[in-house]
Amino acid sequence: AKEEFDSIDKDGSGTLDKAEVAKWLESDAGVSEEEVREYLKQFDKDGDGTITLIEFLQASGYQLKK
């Protein structure tokens, strides 16, 4: 899963911003602005507008040790 996250994180910042998420989703099937917002809302648990690796893994169903 980290490899997938890293492949989406084009700028290497360690977070996925709206533009990176939109580009990733568009390459998958083409999506609307609303779908990008919904995806961000679902994955961005702290509401800061970006998706961290931890948020990505949790939303992907991984159980992380504390």
How far apart are alpha carbons 31 and 45 in whole angstroms? 21
* pTM of the predicted model as reported, rounded to 2 decimal places: 0.75
Q: Give the bridge partners for 15, in sequence order.
A: 52
Determine the pLDDT at residue 37: 87
Phi, psi of 51 (to 5 degrees): -115, 120
The pLDDT, as a whole number, for residue 33 is: 83
- DSSP three-state, residue 52: strand
Contact in structure between 37 and 19 (CB atoms under 8 Å): no
Give pLDDT, residue 36.
Answer: 86
What pLDDT does 66 receive? 62
Regions in the chain scoring below 50 on pLDDT? none
